[in-house]
Amino acid sequence: EWDRVIRVNLRSQFLCCRAVVPGMIERNYGRIANVASIAGKEGNPNASAYSTSKAAIIGAIYSYMAGCYETQGDDAKALEYAGKLLAMDPHNAVASNINSSIAYKALKAKDLDKATDYAQKALAINPQNTVAPQVLDYVKQMKDYQEKMKKYNDAKKKAGN
């Protein structure tokens, strides 16, 4: 019974989303209506497979959507789904990873303030995030370098060179 409930309630919805999301992203439009239940949020001791499948729908679909949008570069949509994950679990690893990925992209674009902001958010969500500390370390190195270059250039101007 457990396997059937999981297969019908969870796997079928995931496979459907996986099939249609690429087209939605390509068209920059689409709607998906997955059916969950309050049992997925609050549980039902008399229907554990059902409650588990509905909770998994909520988490899996939000995680999948956040990842798809982040991969496609739509940070706003990725963060929207990350926010939904955080409403369910304030330490959600996927939401943390979305933030650290945005931090990394900001770092590559040399937007050090944005990189710092999102790396700190990632660590606040999940202190075990491995990318965010690396981003923060690199930002510190870059800021130290910029400060040294400023001092060097100021000294050079003062010396008349």
For 23-47, give the DSSP string. HHHHHT---------HHHHH--TT-
Helix (H) or strand (E) holding 29: none
- Position 161 scores a pLDDT of 62
Chunked into runs of 10 residues, the chain (161 residues) has average pLDDT values of 90 89 90 80 82 86 89 94 93 96 96 97 97 97 95 91 62
Q: How far is CA 70 from the centre of its chain?
A: 7
User: How much is the pTM?
Assistant: 0.75
